[in-house]
Amino acid sequence: MTYKSRPEFRRYVTGAVLSGALTGLGFWSVMGTGWSRALTLWIVGIAAVAQVAVQLRCFLQIGWNQKREDLQLILFSALLLGLMIGGTIWIMSSLAARM
């Protein structure tokens, strides 16, 4: 392994470990605890946002000092993701109210 590839390998291993830990946290909070539903949803939501940040930083290597085009791509992707999640929740709650 060359000297330059060590930091990249370390970043990938760190990202994999953090992603696995955050996934395990979400799974454990749903399956293994007797916490309230609201607390469980908050834990899963925070773990999901943290995992997105870990994936962007460790695997896609997107930092704070990026080009404008990269930032626009990330913001557009976040907008689409928000619209899809919001629309899904809206439709499912509407269907649940009608049943």
And the tokens for 54? 């870990």
Distance CA 34, CA 32 (A): 7
pTM over 0.85: no
Report pLDDT for 47.
93
Express each pLDDT in 23-57 by its tens digit: 999 999 999 878 888 899 999 999 998 998 888 88
Closest C-alpha among 16, 8, 24 to residue 61? 8
The mean pLDDT value of the chain amounts to 85
Distance CA 90, CA 47 (A): 22
Largest Cα span, the chain = 62
pLDDT higher than threshold 70 for residue 7: yes
